[in-house]
Structures are given as C-alpha cells and as structure tokens.
C-alpha cells in the first residue's frame, strides 16, 4: 500500500507550491483531502500523479494543480457560498468545502453524484451538498454565489451563470473547442452589468453537456484535423524506395535520432531500418546506436562487421525484454547491414552499438576477457576489483538495496579505478585492435555507471533516469569521437528518450532529461529528432517486468491527444515536418498547445492507459519531424534459435 500521506505532501510541494499556488488555507485543504478515495480502486496508485484521472461514467477528475488554480483564482473566503458545476468525483468539492462556508456541486451523471454524495458523508463534509442534474444553467433559486466554478468546458460562458454571481463574485470556466485545448477564463462581476475577463491559460476539460452547454454526442470542431491534413506529407508503403527518400532532408545532420512510441511495433522497426539504410547508403552514416545493452549489441556488431566472436561470449539479448531486439524485423536489418559491410574497408563499415547499461554481468565479463588477451596481470586485478559486484551482477537491483542499507557504494571505487586504467590504455584507433579497446572501455564505463545507477535507483526515479540517459548520450558521443569529426550516427530508441524532454511533462514536472534533449543542447540543428506515433492496432508488450510477451490490442488513441488528431486526418502514413517555418503559423500555433501523447514501453497496461501511458507534450518543440502510422502491428519475435540460413559462426541470436 503506497504511503498516501507522503505522496499527498509531495503533490502539494511539487505540483502546487512549485507552480505558484501560495494561499495557505488552500494548500492545507489539499493536504487534508484524501484524493485516493475519490478515484476508482484500480487508479488508486496513481491518485497523486500530476494528471487528471479517469473516473466512472467516462469522466475525469481534474489534475490537482488545475483544481487548485481554479479555486485560488476564485478568491474564496471563509464564509462564501460557492457553486461548482461538474462535481464528478467530488474531489474539488471536498477541497472547496474546507476553504468556503457552503458548497453546492451539481453533477449530471447520477452514478457520479451518488458516489460523490457518499464520499461527503463518509468524510464528514456537512457543508457540501451534491445535487444531481444539468447544472449548465446554474441554480437560480440559490443565487447569488460568491464564486462559480465550472469543471467542464463550453463554447462560451452561459449568461445565466453570470447573472447568478454576487457583486465582486468570480466565475472560472474552461472555454473553447470541444475535445481540444481550451482557455481557462476568469470572469469577475464588477457591477450590476459589468464584468471583467481574464485568461488563466490553456487547459483541457471534458465537455459541459446540457441546455447551456454542448449537445450530447455533438461532433468536435473540424478545422484542426483539416489543417493538419494539408500539412501532412503522405508516405508510401514501407518497402517502397520513396518511403525513405522523404527523410533525405534530415541527412545533413550529424545525428539523426529515431524514436518509436512503443517497444513492439513492426512498422516502427521497419521504418527505422528503411530510413537507416538510406542514410547509410547515400549519406555517410556509419554508426547505428540503439537503446540496447552494450555487450549484447556488441555481438551483433561483430556479426555485421565480420569480426571474430569473443571467446565465451553470451548469446545476445537473452534477458527480458527479448522481443525488443530478437525479432524478425531487427534480424532482417542485421542481415542487410552484414551484406552492406561485406568487402568494405574498416572505415567504411557501419557498426551496430548499444547505448544502454542493464547488462552488468555481460560487461564485467567483457572487460575481463579483453584484459585476459591483452594483459593477463591486469585481468587478475580486474577480477579482484569487480569481485565486489559479482554477487549482485545477476540481480543488480539487489545491490542498490544493499548499498542503501549500508549507506554508501561499497563497489564504487573498484569500478571507477578499472575504468581509469582502461582509458589509459587508449589505443591507436585506426588499428583493428581499436574496436576491442573501444568495446572494453565502453563496458568499463558501463560497469561504473551501472553501479551508480542501481544505487541511485533507490533515491528517486528522476535521478536514475537522468543517469541512464546521460550514460546513453555519453556513449553516443564516445562513438562519434572515436570515429572522428566526420562521423555521423543514427540513434534508435523509445520516444521518451528521443523527444526533447524539456518540452514534455518529463522535463517540466519530473525534472527528467533525455538523450534527445542532450543531443539538441550539444549539436543544435545538427541533431534531428524524429518521433513515430500510431492510433491503434496491436503491439508486443508484457503486463509486468519479466512477464511473458503478449500481442496486445492497442487502444484507439484518446480524444484530445496528438494521436487522435493525426488519426482524424484519415491518412494511413505521413510525415509531418516540424522544423521552424515548415508549418503554417495557424497550424503551428494550434499544435503548440500542449496535448496528450502516448508512450507504450515494454510494459503496456491498456486498462490504466490514460495515466500509465499518456503524458502532456508540445509536439513541435519536442521533435523536428513526426512520422505517423495510423494502424500498426506487433513485431514478430524470433524463437530461441536462428532463422534458417543463418549459419555464420558470428550469428548473434544464438545457434
Ligand atoms: N470537479 C470534478 C471534475 C469533474 S469533470 C472532480 O473533482 O472530480 C466534469 C464533470 O462535469 C463530469 O463529471 C461531467 O459529468 C460533469 N458535467 C458535464 N456537464 C454537466 C452539466 N451540464 N451539469 C452538471 N455536470 C456536468
């Protein structure tokens, strides 16, 4: 059971105070209302997330910050009488009950009204009354109100509501298109017939349905999908050579980063492969760096660059999530790359590298094996230094727990020293041995960073995420450096690593950075970030870490998301160029309003999709381009052995 009191306190600090909510009584009210009791059982663990959550009847409870923003803007006093329209779960009404004298909250869904009423009784809010019905016309019999909060969006502020404000009273309501981003509007009654209006910024609410609001089931505004359709460049089938041609415009970059919105979608893998082939064949790219563990990718690299296998080398990608790399789509690309490299000089070959740091045991083994061949005395020392980590290398998370209880990183010094020693051996990188040295140095760096990563994991998610993405970016830079100033790299990773985190909830709320952001900071326009998205279909993913892979249905994208907008264009595949100046200003402005974006990882939980897989983002700032595949299919995982015809002794996926 999560520690809800601690999460609530953290929510108040991070989500409310840090964003400028300052009123003491209001902050205390948020500290006191148990949000976990206002959401369905299954959403309880996410009760203090910085987002709206789905509740019964297909509605949502507002994000805590938005509720706080509305209540603070209303300037409510101790004795005031307040009307809320759209009680939903009753959460905002309960908070209001703690800062106002009397609250009436109207809810049109009987089911929600009954639940909210029961909560008020159970929690003892005797000054909050829940009324079932259409509140869009207010409650004239109970007017005037010092404040009216409308928790659902309309195309305009209903006149009837303004008339029910007392003098000096304030109404706060989201106004704008249905199922899109709206403006939060504050209206103050300054005289009998006088009102002042203020804009509190962009928000997204469910529609106000009723006499003074939208009709039930009325369609969304059509203008935006229309404009997007005009800007989208339809893409041909993936196996049509013209598909990759559309990406030539990004080929002058030093680094092209391709981000997939899942870890199990065939179209994403195939698209990345086609774009990469083109960049390799025509534009001088010689590095493919992927979100995979270094030692595992190193086996693939030996295969594609026709290098000998290392003695004792493990079969690549045997640990969860195996399908992410052991799949038919990757295998086809690996086969192509091997053929492409055939007969080329070392400089002209393209390598395949892993940026990630999870295979600690593989990396330890690789460092020792390298030294075993290069300098047996040094290998002995390496064994001694890494012995500290060895007991944990199969379950490094346990090392993190252990280090935490001991209060320090017992194995840190050895890992740091080992890396220093290896870096001092720097070899002449034109020689063949350079590959071996590069590999060993990368593994030693990985061991050092992984040691830190697992320790930091227990201090907080943001710290360990940042360490991992920084490690990935540094590994990329090492590769570029090792191959010289003219080298060019392609990166394959998840969207959450590629789309500039500074323009998503990740960076703005959770203080997380990522590879895409670091690449932009370092390379500017010479780094091109390209995101991939989909509306629905199937995906390969698991229910939990270490659980078996399943082919799961991808839910149709949510109303109000970038994905839904792309879907509404009706185009099966398209490229949207987001570089400055590429979009018409009206479309750019509309796309710059933050919207939801979907992130499916190796874990996909459709039942809690809204809060486990969607986050707010600003697409045109996040990416230089967006590649859309409306309907997509799961990747084809490879069985244990190699496909027929793969008899080369370096074949990486096991014989
Ligand atoms: N303040 C709520 C958030 C509610 S979401 C909370 O804290 O949980 C908006 C709610 O407005 C939905 O539950 C929806 O059913 C309700 N709603 C929409 N139109 C309405 C109307 N005309 N009258 C009353 N409620 C309405």
- Is 60 exceeded by the pLDDT of residue 645? no
Cα–ligand 1 centroid distance for 50 (angstroms): 19
- CA–centroid distance, 225 to ligand 1, in Å, is 27
The catalytically annotated residue of 51, 62, 89, 153 is 62
Write the pLDDT tens digit of every residue in 239-275: 999 999 999 999 999 999 999 999 999 999 999 999 9
Mutation test residue for ligand 1: of 61, 64, 107, the one with most atoms within 8 Å of CB: 107
Mean pLDDT of the chain: 91
Give residue 207 CA to ligand 1 midpoint distance, Å.
8
Identify the band that residue 422 occupies on the pLDDT scale cut at 50, 70 and 90.
confident
Cβ contacts of 535 within 8 Å, gap of 6 or more: 554, 556, 557, 563, 564, 566, 567, 630, 631
β-strands 195-203, 182-189: how paired? antiparallel
Q: Which residue's CA is the closest to the ligand 1 atom numbered 4?
A: 88
Neighbours of 238 (CB within 10 A): 16
Which pLDDT score is estimated for 279? Answer: 98
Number of continuous H segments (helices) and E segments (strands) in the chain: 24, 20
Distances (CA, A) of 290 to 260, 454, 489, 491, 574: 12, 21, 10, 6, 24
Q: Is 500 in the pocket of ligand 1 (CB under 6 A)?
A: no
Can you give the pLDDT at residue 427? 60
Q: What pLDDT, on a 0 to 100 scale, did the predictor assign at position 151?
A: 96
- The total of other beta-carbon atoms located within 10 Å of residue 647's CB is 8
Q: Who's near 9: CB < 8 A, 6+ residues apart? A: 31
Q: Which of 86, 87, 178, 203 to mutate to test the pocket of ligand 1 (most atoms within 8 A of CB)?
A: 86
Centre of ligand 1 from the C-alpha of residue 504, in Å:
27
DSSP string, 87-106: -TTSHHHHHHHHHSSEEEEE
Nearest ligand 1 atom to alpha carbon 38: 8
DSSP state of 603: B
Q: Which atom of ligand 1 is nearest to the CA of 86?
A: 11
107 lines ligand 1 (CB under 6 A): yes
Q: Is 210 in the pocket of ligand 1 (CB under 6 A)?
A: yes
Cβ 88 under 6 angstroms from ligand 1:
yes
Provide the pLDDT for residue 64.
96
Tell me, in angstroms, the distance from the centre of ligand 1 to residue 34's CA. Answer: 19
Distance 541 CA to ligand 1 centre (A): 35
Instruction: Check if 47 has its Cβ closer than 6 Å to any atom of ligand 1.
Output: no
Q: How far is the CA of 560 from the centre of ligand 1 (A)?
A: 17
Pick the atom of ligand 1 nearest to 134's CA. 23
**Is 543 close to ligand 1, i.e. is its CB under 6 Å away?**
no
Counting from 1 in the atom list of ligand 1, the atom nearest the Cα of 136 is 22
CB atoms within 10 A of CB 43: 20
Q: pLDDT category, 428, cuts 50, 70, 90?
A: low
Q: Grade residue 93 by pLDDT with cuts at 50, 70 and 90.
A: very high
- For residues 496 and 515, is the Cβ–Cβ distance under 8 A? no
Name the residue with tokens 């698209």.
Answer: 271
pLDDT above 90 coverage of the chain, percent: 71
Pairing of strands 550-554, 614-617: unpaired
CA 247, 250, 255 angle in degrees (round to 5)? 120
Q: By C-alpha distance, which of 215, 213, 222 is closest to 156?
A: 213
- Ligand 1 center–CA 108 separation, angstroms: 7
Domain ranges of the chain: 57-203, 223-241+494-635
Q: In terms of C-beta density within 10 A (0-12 exposed, 13-18 middle, 19 or more buried), how is residue 6 classed?
A: exposed
pLDDT score recorded for residue 221: 45
Between the CA of 110 and the centroid of ligand 1 the distance, in Å, is 11
Q: What residue's CA is closest to ligand 1, atom 11? A: 86
Q: Answer yes or no: are the C-beta atoms of 562 and 597 closer than 8 Å.
A: yes
Q: Is the pLDDT of residue 655 over 50?
A: no
Task: Please tell me if the CB atom of residue 152 comes closer than 6 angstroms to any atom of ligand 1.
Answer: yes
φ and ψ at residue 431, rounded to 5 degrees: -80, 160
pLDDT at residue 219, rounded to an integer: 40
pLDDT tens, residue by residue, 110-164: 999 999 999 999 999 999 999 999 999 999 999 999 999 999 999 889 999 999 9
Q: In 3-state terms, what secondary structure has residue 392?
A: helix
| Closest approach atom of ligand 1 to CA 116 | 8
Residue 92 CA: which ligand 1 atom is closest? Answer: 7
Distance 153 CA to ligand 1 centre (A): 9
pLDDT of residue 401: 78
Catalytic, 62? Answer: yes
**CATH class of the domain defined by 223-241+494-635:** alpha beta
- Nearest Cα residue to atom 18 of ligand 1: 208
Residue 86 Cβ contacting ligand 1 at under 6 Å = yes
Question: If pLDDT is split at 50, 70 and 90, which confidence band does 502 have?
Answer: very high
**Winning range, highest mean pLDDT, from 34-38, 343-347, 642-646:** 34-38
- Measuring from atom 16 of ligand 1, which residue has the nearest CA? 86
DSSP structure string for 265-282:
BHHHHHHHHHHHHHHHHH
172 touches ligand 1 (CB under 6 Å): no
Supply the residue whose CA is at minimum distance from atom 17 of ligand 1: 86
3-class secondary-structure state, position 502: helix
Residue located nearest, by CA, to atom 2 of ligand 1: 88
Q: Which of 88, 90, 178, 212 to mutate to test the pocket of ligand 1 (most atoms within 8 A of CB)?
A: 88
- Which whole-number Å values give the CA distances from 645 to 333, 340, 432, 544, 655, in the listed order? 15, 17, 29, 34, 11
Q: Is 59 in the pocket of ligand 1 (CB under 6 A)?
A: yes
Q: How far is the CA of 86 from the centre of ligand 1 (A)?
A: 3
The pLDDT assigned to 634 comes to: 97
**How far away, in angstroms, is 510 Cα from ligand 1 center?**
29
CATH of domain 57-203: 3.40.50.150
Regarding the beta carbon of 378 and ligand 1, being less than 6 Å apart is answered no
User: Mean pLDDT over residues 496-514, rounded?
Assistant: 93
CB distance 61 to ligand 1 below 6 Å: yes
Task: Tell me the per-residue pLDDT of 597-635, one tens digit each, with 9 for 90 and over.
Answer: 999 999 999 988 988 999 999 999 999 999 999 999 999
pLDDT in tens, 192-226: 999 999 999 988 888 898 888 887 643 444 478 88
Q: How many residues does the chain have?
A: 655
Write down the pLDDT at residue 586. 85
Q: Which residues face 617 on adjacent strands?
A: 504, 595
Distance CA 29, CA 634 (A): 46
φ/ψ of 409, rounded to 5, equals -95, 95
Establish whether residue 209 lines the binding site of ligand 1, counting it when its CB lies within 6 angstroms of any ligand atom: yes
Structure token digits, residue 549? 């892979």
Residues 6 or more apart whose Cβ sits within 8 Å of residue 607: 42
Per cent of the chain over pLDDT 70 is 96
Residues 39-89: tens digit of each pLDDT: 998 889 999 999 888 888 888 899 999 999 999 999 999 999 999 999 999
Strands (E), 480-620: 489-494, 527-541, 550-554, 573-577, 595-598, 614-617
Is the preceding omega at residue 187 within 30 degrees of 0, hence cis?
A: no
pLDDT computed for residue 434 by the predictor: 79
- Nearest atom in ligand 1 to the alpha carbon of residue 61 is 8
């Amino acid at each position: 059971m999560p520690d809800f009191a601690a999460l609530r306190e953290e929510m108040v600090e991070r989500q409310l105070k840090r964003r400028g909510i300052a009123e003491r009584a209001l902050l205390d009210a948020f500290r006191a209302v148990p949000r976990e009791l206002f959401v369905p059982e299954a959403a309880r663990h996410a009760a203090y997330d910085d987002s709206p959550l789905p509740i019964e009847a297909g509605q949502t409870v507002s994000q805590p910050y938005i509720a706080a923003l509305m209540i603070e803007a209303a300037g409510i006093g101790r004795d005031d009488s307040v009307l809320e329209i759209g009680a939903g779960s009753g959460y905002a009404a309960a908070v209001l009950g703690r800062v106002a004298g009397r609250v009436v909250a109207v809810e049109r869904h009987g089911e929600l009204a009954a639940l909210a009423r029961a909560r008020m009784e159970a929690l003892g809010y005797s000054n909050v009354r829940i009324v079932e019905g259409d509140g869009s016309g207010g409650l004239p019999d109970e007017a005037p109100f010092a404040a009216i909060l409308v928790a659902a969006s309309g195309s305009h502020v209903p006149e009837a509501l303004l008339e029910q404000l007392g003098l000096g009273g304030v109404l706060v309501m989201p106004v704008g298109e249905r199922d899109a981003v709206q403006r939060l509007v504050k209206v103050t009654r300054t005289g009998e017939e006088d009102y002042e209006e203020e804009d509190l910024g962009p928000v997204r609410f469910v529609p106000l349905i009723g006499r003074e609001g939208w009709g039930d089931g009325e369609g969304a505004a059509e203008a935006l999908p229309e404009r997007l359709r005009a800007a989208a460049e339809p893409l041909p089938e993936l196996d049509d050579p013209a598909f990759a041609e559309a990406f030539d415009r990004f080929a002058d970059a030093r680094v092209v980063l391709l981000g997939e919105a899942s870890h199990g979608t065939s179209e994403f893998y195939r698209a990345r492969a086609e774009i990469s082939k083109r960049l390799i064949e025509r534009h001088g790219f010689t590095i493919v760096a992927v979100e995979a563990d270094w030692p595992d990718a190193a086996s693939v690299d030996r295969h594609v660059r026709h290098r000998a296998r290392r003695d004792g080398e493990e079969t690549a990608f045997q640990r969860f999530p195996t399908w992410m790399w052991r799949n038919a789509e990757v295998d086809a690309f690996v086969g192509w790359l091997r053929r492409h490299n055939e007969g080329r000089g070392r400089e002209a070959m393209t390598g395949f590298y892993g940026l990630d740091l999870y295979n600690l045991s593989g990396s330890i083994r690789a460092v020792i094996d390298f030294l075993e061949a290069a300098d047996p005395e040094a290998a002995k020392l390496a064994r001694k230094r890494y012995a500290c980590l060895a007991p944990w290398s199969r379950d490094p998370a346990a090392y993190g727990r252990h280090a935490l209880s001991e209060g320090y990183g017992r194995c840190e010094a050895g890992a740091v020293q080992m890396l220093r020693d290896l870096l001092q051996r720097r070899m002449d990188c034109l020689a063949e041995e350079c590959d071996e040295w590069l590999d060993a140095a990368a593994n030693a760096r990985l061991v050092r960073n992984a040691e830190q990563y697992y320790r930091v994991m227990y201090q907080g998610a943001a710290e360990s995420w940042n360490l991992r993405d920084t490690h990935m970016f540094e590994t990329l830079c090492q590769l570029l450096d090792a191959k010289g100033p003219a080298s060019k790299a392609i990166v394959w990773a998840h969207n959450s690593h590629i789309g500039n985190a500074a323009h998503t909830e990740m960076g703005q709320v959770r203080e997380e950075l990522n590879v895409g952001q670091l690449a932009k900071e370092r390379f500017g326009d010479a780094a091109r970030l390209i995101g991939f998205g989909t509306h629905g279909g199937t995906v390969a993913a698991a229910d939990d870490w270490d659980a078996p892979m399943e082919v799961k249905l991808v839910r149709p994208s949510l109303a109000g998301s970038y994905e839904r907008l792309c879907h509404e264009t009706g185009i099966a595949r398209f490229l949207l160029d987001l570089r400055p100046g590429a979009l018409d200003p009206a479309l750019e402005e509309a796309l710059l309003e933050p919207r939801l974006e979907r992130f499916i990882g190796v874990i996909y939980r459709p039942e809690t999709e809204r809060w486990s897989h969607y986050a707010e983002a600003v697409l045109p700032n996040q990416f230089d381009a967006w590649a859309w595949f409306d309907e997509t299919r799961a990747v084809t995982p490879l069985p244990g052995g190699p496909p027929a015809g793969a008899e080369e002794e370096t074949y990486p996926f096991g014989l």
